[in-house]
Every structure is written in structure tokens, then in C-alpha cells.
Amino acid sequence: MKMTVSIFLYNDVEVLDFAGPLDVFLLANEHGGGKLFDVRTVAKTKAPVMAAYNGLSINPKYEIKEISESDILVVPGGNDISELLADDETIRWILNISGTANQVLSVCSGSLILAKAGLLEGLKATTHQGDMAELTSLAPNTEIVDGVKFVDNGKIVTSAGITTGIDMCLHVIEKICGADLAKKTSISLERD
């Protein structure tokens, strides 16, 4: 049975924060004969989401009320996530989905969203260098790690910023599916 990968989208999301992980899981699935992952995009509603900086319009396939579980949750960062951090319904959804997931991944300021949901309590985490102070404020009981691409706590994995989301997802592919598939995926991405 395919593992579900839910990539969360919202207004002002950073393009590479979601598109990098999306490509990693889609390519890994292709190398796995289409039998490994069901990759889906999900947002609060199905209305188009506008990406940060460039106005790229993204059409999520699902809305949060349609998704009650996922094997893997990816929470990308964004340029301005203050509105999202104040959205109790969405934060509750992230917390609930995380309870069903085998892996919860964040890219860049996505770690702030995980912190707001209380998911980083007592763990180690990283984020974009520009968000370190805010992460420290949101997660005072979390050991904030600087200067690394990602931090793997087992179930919860946080990555630093933007392109490091690709590295993190390749790492997760290796954990779940083995080094051979991770290597093939990395080569397809021209990372090796």
C-alpha cells in the first residue's frame, strides 16, 4: 500500500520549500515503479494559494477537512507566516495529522508552525538562520541547532532553509526506502 505524503500549502508559502520536497517524493515514487507514495497537496481550502514573492498561483488538491491522516506530513516555510500562526483551526489540524503520521517534516520557517502546535517540545530543531530567534521564542524547551541542514528526531525532522528541504527529504527516503532509492532520486535531481 502506498504511503500518503501530504504537503501543506498556504498563502505566502516559499516555492522551493514545498516544490523541492514535492519533487523528491514524486521522483522517488517514479523510481519505485509508482507504488511507494501518494503525494498530495492540501491547504485550508481548495482556493488557489499565492506563493511568496512572485504571485505564483498554486491549486491545492485537497482541503484540510478532507484529510484526517497521512503517513508523512510536510510543512514548508513561508515569507510571512504570522497569519497562519494565529489560525487555531489550521494549527489544530497540523497537530492532529501529526498524531497519525510516521514522519513530520518541516522546511525553513515551517518549524515555527510545528513549534506553535507544540510538536517540538523537548526535541532538537533547526530553521532558516533568519528565523532562529523566533523559533527560540516559540519553542523555549527545544534545543535550537544552527549550522546544520536538518535535524532528525526520529518522527519529526526539521530542515534549515529552502534547498535543505531537498536534502532532508532525500534523507527520509533513505530511512524509509533504503540508500539505493535515495541515490537514484538524488541523481535524478542532479544532486550527485
Q: Express each pLDDT in 10-35 by its tens digit.
A: 999 999 999 999 999 999 999 999 99
161 has pLDDT over 90: no
Q: Write down the pLDDT at residue 54.
A: 84
Nearest to 26 by CA among 149, 188, 191: 188
| Residues 53, 177: Cα–Cα separation, whole Å | 35
| CA 86 to each of CA 49, 56, 82, 189: distance values in angstroms, whole numbers, following the listed order | 18, 24, 6, 36
% pLDDT > 90, the chain: 95
Determine the structural domain holding residue 80 and report its residue range: 3-188
3-state secondary structure the chain: CCEEEEEECCCCECHHHHHHHHHHHHHHHHHCCCCCEEEEEEECCCCCEECCCCCCEECCCEEHHHCCCCCEEEECCECCCHHHHCCHHHHHHHHHHHHHCCEEEEECCHHHHHHHCCCCCCCEECCCHHHHHHHHHHCCCCEECCCCCEEECCCEEEECCCCHHHHHHHHHHHHHHCHHHHHHHHHHCCCC
CA atoms within 13 A of residue 172's CA, in its CB half-sphere: 33
Average pLDDT over residues 75-85: 94
Sign (positive/negative) of CA torsion 117, 119, 124, 126? negative
Q: Write down the pLDDT at residue 75.
A: 98
139 has pLDDT over 80: yes
| CA 147 to each of CA 48, 75, 111: distance values in angstroms, whole numbers, following the listed order | 35, 20, 15
| Residues 93, 48: Cα–Cα separation, whole Å | 19
Average pLDDT over residues 59-75: 97
Q: Write down the pLDDT at residue 191.
A: 83
Residue 8 near residue 74 (C-beta atoms within 8 A) = yes
CATH code of the domain containing 155:
3.40.50.880
Confidence category of residue 1, pLDDT binned at 50, 70, 90: confident
Q: How many domains does the chain have?
A: 1
Q: Write down the pLDDT at residue 55.
A: 83
Mean of pLDDT over the chain: 96
% pLDDT > 70, the chain: 99
Q: Write down the pLDDT at residue 122.
A: 97
